[in-house]
Structure 1
């Protein structure tokens, strides 16, 4: 168990806004809070080291420790009408189990102080099982029909609480055939009557207490019927009174479930399972759930889903009106343990404090949040100890869910990721990978701090703005700035955040894209379900899992998911370069090309001798590495884009991105695959009077700190940034 851990309700805020901080501490004594500004988050002793600056704040101080629990796993809950007598009750649902090796998984349960009734799947009971608990005792019924994973079944259970008679039936659907039924006795004689607080819980049991026995798989059309004479045939029209019939095809873009029965027993989803997935009636006639929601009338539940931990605030921070924009964390210390809760403070809307803005890729941080990696083990743990790095890793501590690069226990990809939970890899000192002889092994937040530390070293004051704020505020959030910088990996974007970047450039802004594999995946967020983002890995792209056919449309907004390139907005159209190749964490260098010596571009290379740039670095040991972007006119790179430098001599571990490959020997450009493995550093002016500078490599910023920030890569970026701030670059606006 992590001794002290916490999170903020939002990753970013502005002066005048209030952030709530939620903390769980296992200690008996109080913990200490100190606000710090993050200057560098790299624990590598060969680099700048971890650098924090303590900041005076009203929230600094000591707070009592308390443990706040969280139970992962998704389910649905709905009320049941008090006073309802349960002489006879039939429960029915259509299910597709994702796992059949769990001891017990609850499909639906009814909970009441006097009654418990659940329909389950269980290994030790050989398939579907019916469990009943009343004042007269406990009982159950088992159907000896083992179920296969990823197949559809309809299951119905019936209990006569007067006579104690019970029935259980199941039937295979679709191309599968077969079924079975069983009858037996359960305690009878006492007719339960639902009391106040009676509830139905779908996909988990232990109603009235912490959810348990989570179901892994899809559930469709769960229903409760009063009366009748038995379970009968599954799917048959029920004789009796409908108590509840939940239609999951309604409200797919919400966290609510709709009851079409006479009582309107609508419910809510907990820990946000996956919606917009194929149901038992899907045939492929429609591939988009908004066009045929009845084909997508299922919800996919998982035992490790994690949306909102729901912890209470331990303290709040009202950001003062004169507060400096930047990267911050609440440092927590207690009984020798330490944690850092990250957050970012933007300038007031429309009132920048600086001419320069750094966009913090919070959408990417969320989608990689708690990324468990295959290569975590003793070697990296030793380095963590030797360097005094952050000691906790999501591969060892999975109670707060994992990332969109990981799989659920049933093998399906994680498509929904939340920021209302502790994100272990958003901590100073966190190491992503070992990367022997290749620098610090940092990604994302910690790698981005190389840029923040460089700005500090060069005395370049800057504001920050988050992806979340770009999504909400559009290009207006960037328009006041003379220059805007990205961080190392701005991979994930909503339509709103991408529009903000595009609008800034088209209105004459000056953009420095300082990463690789940027503007790649389309994601969705929701105003009605705050705190969560969604990706559908559709069609192509480098990916750790693939969305199923017919499930390419996002549940949160109904938009088509996948690559922005597949949505008609390739990164080249914005930044001049787009993703082309990926390899191991072993970087290389750039070589200047002839056009970089044009007189009109001399200001970019002022003070730089030689043609080699970035042959050392804290990320991958070189400025061009890991994921590489290149220019491609067919995908929208402007005609006036100049390739200033191109990387070379990449390791044989590098491969071309799958979306570039047509066959085993041909590519989309017609060039041999090895010709597409390089990063292009490009510059171009825009028709509106602005300019774009792009480096096309994730590891570029890792070269900035080399030789105490006194190296050619550092000088190059300083020339570009100070030049942009001074108005260099950009052609006169066209009339």
Structure 2
């Protein structure tokens, strides 16, 4: 593993209002300086305006370097209780490992503290055998002679008593009969006192000091699923253990955790007599089928008893838990916009962005830029390309922070966990190594670096703007937008909650005006954890352009219970409210110009292309064309309103651009632009009641062309035409026949 970068950092929230406090967490191998920047344009490309940023005169100054470790790995933690301190007890669970132990012990249920050298644990040895650890020793006191299979459910149990310990494993279902059934016995007294030690599931307490708000001493993380872990008073007999049915043990229940009974949030209820409810740490996957899932229901809310499992990963991380290095109260008069803490240690520099809204309850401009922070989170730290790199190396720039994130498996929603399962959750409370103003990924500028091209153009044009983030839109609904005459999206507003779509529709229905200046927008159903607003969730379902898909029975979001996947399959295709929706992805394929369509000659749209003769194009910083990377089209069958005007069309894309997979019903080779007419980008205008309107470009590349040729290009011209008309209070009227 490579050395840690000199500088790593993150902020406690991405959206903060002027006058409020923001906290910066830093891990640094050297002393460093901190200052505040206002960001305008992030990349130094000869085709564009270059890096544009300014220092904000606020005293922050120097900080001492301090390395803060990551505490990755999910587990359950429950309170210690005297009722658990019995002379004899039995521990049970159903488990499905999803990764071999790889030479390291893996805990299933434990009250073990290596720092104090006491307690007990049921777990797997480094070669996947069921084992019990007890007392001060490092070696297990009992081990079965057959390994637990990966990818299959097994009932496991251990009975502790004054005369010894009995271990049992029974495959569920047991087929072939007896093939992995095994037991082991340790005769004689075993030291397993654990008074005061909290029970953990999927980990045990290691050694060392706990320096953060979380127990970062957790170790022996389990990879896989654990269903209904429980403790019973008394030692079950070997015959009872062999039934693999705790209800037949005849023992009083001490604790039994039932994730399916309360499937949302961090709390895992205990249905035992002492209500020792557990809390999740680092967000193991919830809403996943357990050992007794029949397949009769795929919504965990309808069969909670079949969804009593959690899927744990040793690389889960939704809160790094670092201490704050800087706590800064922003000036109440600080202008809304995109900001960053700049950290500098010698020649090393890191910019950690965040977004400043106007002071609470106010708006300062008529235009709002809607910053797609949920999309930023979804992509943050993406490292699949780094992991798959061949001997020729990467053909795009990476930083030490990117490599560090890949090595530590800080998963984006496009990555796989170490066990090969898809990453369902993303969090802002960890280093977001690709969320930087100069990030250029496999396809060029991406997310923030692309959206700063829009910020830069607004600054150049002298058009005032406030910023509003996805976090604000989800929490506040339409109130986050209602004070603005015009709302501009970024280049790629892909991840949307239902509350955010509701806010869009309410804003437009009340006469608001929106310019959708991106592509592949409003695509994935996204959830936000009510008790963890820093965490978003997706379940990619079984169609759509995706990096992975969920296993059977896992299509519903654990944070909200709603069906995941694409919004179009929930009846909310983006064509319904912005006129266009995703149709093709082209990767590094060369983009294309738009050409005026008959709709541009309609008097309702005469302003849009005014002063533009010929193609609408520019050598965009993504895709080298006005329409590029990912593109959208109008489609009445998917909800494009009948009065929508198609102003311009980009077509003739190279074969890199293939028709969206969700619309390909049978396998064939006729999905490229040359033979599939739906592979095109449509620029549209549609009016809403009370003077509202939407202008959509349907291209991720669009914003990255705005600053080219010193801002004197057709993309900038059309954008300016539309924005100035949208700022004109004169109402838009739909055709008489559409009213």
- By how many angstroms is 1:467 displaced? 0.6
Aligned to 1:603: 607
Give me the whole-angstrom Cα distance separating, in 2, the residues matched to 1:98 and 1:673: 43
Aligned to 2:68: 68
What is the DSSP-based 3-state SS (H/G/I as helix, E as strand, rest coil) of the residue aligned with 2:709? helix
Aligned to 2:234: 227
Aligned to 1:159: 160
- By how many angstroms is 1:53 displaced? 0.8
Distance verdict in 2 for CA 1:300–1:382, change over 3 Å:
closer
What is the DSSP-based 3-state SS (H/G/I as helix, E as strand, rest coil) of the residue aligned with 1:605? coil
Aligned to 1:578: 581
Aligned to 1:89: 89
- By how many angstroms is 1:262 displaced? 2.2
Distance verdict in 2 for CA 1:54–1:382, change over 3 Å:
farther
Give me the whole-angstrom Cα distance separating, in 2, the residues matched to 1:726 and 1:201: 61
Q: 1:280-326 CA distances to partner (integer Å, 9 max, x unpaired)?
A: 11112222111221111100001111111111222222222211000
Distance verdict in 2 for CA 1:383–1:252, change over 3 Å:
closer
What is the DSSP-based 3-state SS (H/G/I as helix, E as strand, rest coil) of the residue aligned with 2:146? coil
Distance verdict in 2 for CA 1:91–1:654, change over 3 Å:
same
Contact conserved, 1:665 with 1:672, CA < 8 A, in 2? no
Distance verdict in 2 for CA 1:250–1:84, change over 3 Å:
closer
Aligned to 2:318: 307
Equivalent residue pairs, number: 713
Give me the whole-angstrom Cα distance separating, in 1, the residues matched to 2:85 and 2:527: 44
Greater displacement, 462-471 / 318-327: 318-327
- By how many angstroms is 1:244 displaced? 2.0
Aligned to 2:266: 255
- By how many angstroms is 1:637 displaced? 0.7
Greater displacement, 397-406 / 319-328: 397-406
Contact conserved, 1:606 with 1:719, CA < 8 A, in 2? yes
Q: What is the 5 A alignment of 1:451-530?
A: 451-530=454-533
Aligned to 2:108: 107
Q: 1:531-568 CA distances to partner (integer Å, 9 max, x unpaired)?
A: 10000112421111112222111111111111111111
Q: Which one of the candidate residues 279, 285, 295 is aligned to 2:306?
A: 295
Contact conserved, 1:489 with 1:516, CA < 8 A, in 2? yes
Contact conserved, 2:371 with 2:467, CA < 8 A, in 1? yes
- By how many angstroms is 1:129 displaced? 2.0
Distance verdict in 2 for CA 1:41–1:159, change over 3 Å:
same
Aligned to 1:450: 453
Q: Which one of the candidate residues 589, 596, 603 is aligned to 1:592?
A: 596
Aligned to 2:26: 23
Greater displacement, 271-280 / 66-75: 66-75
Q: Which one of the candidate residues 430, 445, 449 is aligned to 2:439?
A: 430
Give me the whole-angstrom Cα distance separating, in 2, the residues matched to 1:675 and 1:252: 44
Aligned to 1:127: 129
Contact conserved, 2:158 with 2:165, CA < 8 A, in 1? yes
Distance verdict in 2 for CA 1:342–1:654, change over 3 Å:
same
What is the DSSP-based 3-state SS (H/G/I as helix, E as strand, rest coil) of the residue aligned with 1:57? strand
What is the DSSP-based 3-state SS (H/G/I as helix, E as strand, rest coil) of the residue aligned with 2:58? coil
Contact conserved, 2:133 with 2:142, CA < 8 A, in 1? yes
Q: 1:438-477 CA distances to partner (integer Å, 9 max, x unpaired)?
A: xxx1111111111111111212111110011011111121
Q: What is the 5 A alignment of 1:619-634?
A: 619-634=622-637
Correspondence 1:34 to 2:45: no
Aligned to 2:416: 407
Distance verdict in 2 for CA 1:632–1:261, change over 3 Å:
same
- By how many angstroms is 1:105 displaced? 1.7
Q: 1:76-117 CA distances to partner (integer Å, 9 max, x unpaired)?
A: 111232485553332211011111252232112212535232
Distance verdict in 2 for CA 1:589–1:148, change over 3 Å:
farther
What is the DSSP-based 3-state SS (H/G/I as helix, E as strand, rest coil) of the residue aligned with 1:314? strand
Correspondence 1:718 to 2:720: yes
What is the DSSP-based 3-state SS (H/G/I as helix, E as strand, rest coil) of the residue aligned with 2:292? coil
Contact conserved, 2:643 with 2:735, CA < 8 A, in 1? no
Distance verdict in 2 for CA 1:391–1:710, change over 3 Å:
farther
Aligned to 1:272: 283
Distance verdict in 2 for CA 1:522–1:679, change over 3 Å:
same
Aligned to 1:438: none
Contact conserved, 1:40 with 1:52, CA < 8 A, in 2? yes
- By how many angstroms is 1:618 displaced? 1.1
Name stretches of at least 5 consecutive residues in structure 1 with no aligned partner: 436-440
Correspondence 1:661 to 2:672: no
Correspondence 1:284 to 2:295: yes
- By how many angstroms is 1:383 displaced? 5.9
Greater displacement, 211-220 / 393-402: 393-402
- By how many angstroms is 1:240 displaced? 3.9
Q: Provide the alpha-carbon RMSD of the alignment.
A: 2.5
Distance verdict in 2 for CA 1:2–1:715, change over 3 Å:
same
Contact conserved, 2:618 with 2:625, CA < 8 A, in 1? yes
Aligned to 1:211: 218
Q: TM-score, normalised by structure 2?
A: 0.91
Q: 1:469-495 CA distances to partner (integer Å, 9 max, x unpaired)?
A: 011111121111111100000000111
Give me the whole-angstrom Cα distance separating, in 1, the residues matched to 2:583 and 2:41: 29
What is the DSSP-based 3-state SS (H/G/I as helix, E as strand, rest coil) of the residue aligned with 1:374? helix
Distance verdict in 2 for CA 1:727–1:85, change over 3 Å:
closer
Correspondence 1:640 to 2:643: yes
- By how many angstroms is 1:519 displaced? 0.4
Q: 1:162-208 CA distances to partner (integer Å, 9 max, x unpaired)?
A: 33x2221111113634342333336x546554333x11111113356
Give me the whole-angstrom Cα distance separating, in 2, the residues matched to 1:76 and 1:661: 42
Distance verdict in 2 for CA 1:604–1:266, change over 3 Å:
same
Give me the whole-angstrom Cα distance separating, in 2, the residues matched to 1:261 and 1:463: 52
- By how many angstroms is 1:41 displaced? 1.4
- By how many angstroms is 1:585 displaced? 2.1
Contact conserved, 1:215 with 1:301, CA < 8 A, in 2? yes
- By how many angstroms is 1:676 displaced? 0.8
Give me the whole-angstrom Cα distance separating, in 1, the residues matched to 2:6 and 2:458: 34
